[in-house]
Chain A
Amino acid sequence: GAVVSQHPSRVICKSGTSVKIECRSLDFQATTMFWYRQFPKQSLMLMATSNEGSKATYEQGVEKDKFLINHASLTLSTLTVTSAHPEDSSFYICSAEVPGGGYTFGSGTRLTVV
């Protein structure tokens, strides 16, 4: 089946630095990918929709200058958390639309900002 590979699975960074998270579709082309944020024991909150070759669409309240999304190819979308702060610590998950319908999710990235 369609698989999305997300890296890294865990990252610890210092406050003020930037972190890049990658999401790759391994055996299909993903024109649309989604980035979610999840706090402990809570549901997924959609941050933005990433469209190949165009600007991402951000949900209300999500700072586009802080969470930079790039979808330069049909198999790769990246989320960069710029100038990270402890409050950005969270579990970030990407998802992609699968050809024929449905969605598949990455395994998530646990970001800890110290």
Chain B
Amino acid sequence: TQLLEQSPQFLSIQEGENLTVYCNSSSVFSSLQWYRQEPGEGPVLLVTVVTGGEVKKLKRLTFQFGDARKDSSLHITAAQPGDTGLYLCAGARSGGSNYKLTFGKGTLLTVNP
């Protein structure tokens, strides 16, 4: 079983602050995805990173995939209360009969006004 270690597990910050969430593994993934989930709803895909060293920006969110494709980070600039939610990283491996996602444990972010 491949494990994705996600940290921190909980994060409570004030509006306007910056934050970074980390996702690390000892295994290589063909791609890594970041999701945001609100209570009572399914996860919503934010981004997929595929290439080692890749950096993607989505407004105030910056996603990075490590050169070795074993780790990733999500950086949020000037967080807003609307960013509150559970952030999940998930790694995918290609090939084989079970092409499934491995999820990190999630980071519960609370942005206080």
Interface, chain A (partner B; CB < 8 A):
6, 9, 32, 34, 41-46, 49, 57, 91, 93, 95, 97, 102-108, 110
A108-B40 contact given A43-B88, A43-B103, A97-B99, CB 8 Å threshold? yes
Q: Give the total number of A-B pairs whose CB atoms are below 8 A apart.
A: 50
Asked whether, in the complex, the Cβ of B40 is within 8 Å of the Cβ of A110, the reply is yes
Whether B98 and A57, one on each chain, are in contact in the complex, defined by CB atoms closer than 8 angstroms, is yes
Q: Which residues of A contact B101 (CB under 8 A)?
A: 34, 46, 95, 103
Per-position 1/0 for B16-57, Cβ under 8 A of A:
000000000000000001010000111111001000000000
Interface of A is mostly: strand
CB-based contact A42/B99 at 8 Å: no
* Interface 9-residue window, one of B60-68, B69-77, B104-112: B104-112
Given contacts A43-B103, A46-B100, contact A6 B42 (CB under 8 A): yes
Residues on the B chain within 8 Å of A44, using CB: 43, 88, 103
In angstroms, Cα B101 to Cα A44, docked, is 10
Contacts of A104 in B (CB 8 A): 45
Chain B contact residue count (CB 8 A cutoff)? 21
On chain B, the residues within 8 Å of A107 by CB distance are 41-42
Residues of A within 8 A of B88 (CB): 43-44
Expressed in whole angstroms, the Cα–Cα distance for A61 and B6 within the complex equals 23
Complex-state Cα separation, A67 to B16, whole angstroms: 45
A91 to B43 alpha-carbon distance, docked (Å): 12
Determine whether the beta carbon of B42 is less than 8 Å from that of A108.
Answer: yes
Given A43-B103, A46-B100, A57-B98: A102 and B41 within 8 A (CB)? no
| A95–B90 alpha-carbon span in the complex (Å) | 13
Residues of B within 8 A of A42 (CB): 105-106
Known A43-B88, A49-B98, A110-B40: A103·B103 in contact at CB below 8 Å? no
- B42, B43, B48, B101: residue with the most chain A Cβ atoms closer than 10 Å: B42
B86 at the interface (CB under 8 A from A): yes
A103 to B31 alpha-carbon distance, docked (Å) = 12
Which of A41, A105, A108 contacts B86 (CB under 8 A)?
A: A41
